[in-house]
Chain A
Amino acid sequence: MKVLVPVKRVIDYNVRPRVKADQSGIDLANVKMAMNPFDEISVEEAVRMKEKGLATEIVIVSIGPAQAQETIRIGLAMGGDRGILVQTDATVEPLAVAKILKAIVDAEQPGLVIAGKQAIDDDSNATGQMLAALLDWPQATFASAVSKDGDTLKVTREVDGGLQTLALQTPAVVTTDLRLNEPRFASLPNIMKAKKKPIDTKSPADYGVDITPRLSVVKVTEPKKREAGEKVADVDALIAKLKSVGAI
């Protein structure tokens, strides 16, 4: 079974994003970028499936600027076999990403797409579900465990209040949640090896997808700041304060 893993280049999660002074967006100049953390978990899961003999080939796909190639290389160093970069400097919304991924799936015919549940930049949490809908494939979002039994995929999902397990017919789309696994660090030899792995460079037009955004950004602003309050000396003072504001 071939596995397709889409990965996104985003601001490193340890970096605090800064809103541009003209409110047009987030300042990405000279900011450390990294693979979206949920996508690292996706790559890791695909690599583990390959190590268990459940996956035969792992294709890492990224849609974005030329530098997204570096993000693909990380995936290849973790154990991906080859990459596809759909290169564009334009904003590509989840709907357009899903359409491009559908075209790639039509060409590549994977048995499984493993995607992160959301990218930590725009927090849309939509691409995997949209891709599943466009393909008319079943989906299991927010996965915390994945196993395979013949053509059936058993996926445990993080839902409100607990866990839910689904059986999916493959081909299917799975989106990953935090507890699914702990992604490995790519070793230096593997990073060197990854440099030799092939990456195809394409454009959205190659797939016949119109990526014109449907949403226009009116403005991006800082959230309302919360002021620090006061120190209380002890438990009695805390209780008195909470009573005085009617919190208890």
Chain B
Amino acid sequence: MAVLVLAEHSNVALNDVTAKTVAAAKAFGGDVDVLVAGHNAGAAAQAAAKLSGVRKVLHAEGEAFSHALAEAVEALVVPLMSGYDAFFAPATATGKNVAPRVAAKLDVMQVSEITKVIDASTFERPIYAGNAIMTVKSSDAKKVITVRGTAFQAVDASGSASIETIAAPAGPFKSAFVSEEISKSDRPELASAKRVVSGGRALASAEQFNQYILPLADKLGAGVGASRAAVDAGYAPNDYQVGQTGKVVAPELYVAIGISGAIQHLAGMKDSKIIVAINKDEEAPIFQIADYALVGDLFKIVPELTSKL
């Protein structure tokens, strides 16, 4: 058996979720190869070659890969799949964009966002935003899988796989990159941060969100998240959103500030190792899952916590 893993990377660096997807692929079994499709992505390919348990890295270079255009990645991956039994992609914006295209071209029903590999055809995945866990068995000859990174322990970087350069499909493709606005921040990326500080609607304005949440996050070296209510109210940008319709995180420490704990939010953070909740409403549902509950006025508590840490 052999598995092709799609690497998530920024061309210059490999995203940590790749090592977690490799871990899922190893649990599936067989040889694991990693595909780095990028533009000037030599550094990412070298990092992928160091992932423990990887047989080889396939490195494809192309302008269309610099922004991982779905049509281009599909054209690259589908022909490669004649040599593989499974395609594993991280369930990131990129992986979710590309994997179903590959699945449809192979006439395979994708198993989305798996959290556990039971055997080579059986997987666990959350449905209804994590309100239920479904175990499914795939009857397709080849498997196409997306992997929820937070559910797998990253493989270490002690390997030394070979790197093979492969040809990239020429195009032209029917979509083209125009522009991007990526928020520049020195803070850890939300999805992979070891600590996360999240703010909710109780922050009451974007100014107060920034004034109270950000200094605490920086003191803790944490990524910043928000509830959907805070995002909808415009207090925080959408890519901060933690929950069913946003990002799923499972850091070592999750600090929920002024978040009541709607089902949709809990779905995105309840697998965190330690949850701290700060809320003035003693009855807030967030307290039912928090390890440490502090009832009180966040506008007093948060600055005090920030200064004492």
Assess the B93–A160 pair: CB atoms within 8 A: yes
Count, A-B residue pairs, CB within 8 A: 235
The proximity string for B residues 56-75 relative to A, scoring 1 for CB distances below 8 Å and 0 otherwise, is 00000000000101110010
Assess the A214–B108 pair: CB atoms within 8 A: yes
Known contacts A95-B109, A154-B178, A19 near B132 by CB under 8 Å: yes
B47 contacts the other chain (CB 8 A): no
A204 contacts the other chain (CB 8 A): no
Known contacts A16-B131, A178-B238, A223-B131, A139 near B70 by CB under 8 Å: yes
Distance between B218 CB and nearest chain A CB, rounded to angstroms: 14
A125 — which chain B residues lie within 8 A by C-beta?
A: 96, 100, 112-113
B173 — which chain A residues lie within 8 A by C-beta?
A: 138
B81 contacts the other chain (CB 8 A): no
B99 — which chain A residues lie within 8 A by C-beta?
A: 126, 129
Q: Contact partner of B128 among A121, A141, A168, CB < 8 A?
A: A121
B289 contacts the other chain (CB 8 A): yes
Known contacts A121-B128, A160-B191, A167-B175, A215 near B138 by CB under 8 Å: yes
A159 contacts the other chain (CB 8 A): yes
Q: Contact partner of A158 among B100, B179, B238, B253, CB < 8 A?
A: B238
Report the stretch among A55-63, A82-90, A191-199, A225-233 that lies at the interface: A225-233
For the residues of B in contact with A, the DSSP-based class is mixed
A-B contact pairs, 21 of them (CB 8 A): A26-B128, A94-B100, A121-B127, A125-B100, A126-B99, A126-B112, A129-B101, A137-B174, A138-B70, A138-B175, A139-B101, A160-B189, A166-B175, A166-B178, A179-B238, A216-B136, A223-B130, A223-B132, A228-B288, A229-B291, A235-B304
B contact set with A: CB distance below 8 Å: 67, 69-71, 74, 92-94, 96-105, 107-113, 122, 125-140, 173-183, 189, 191, 220, 228, 238-239, 244-245, 252-253, 263-264, 270, 273-276, 287-295, 301, 304-305, 308-309
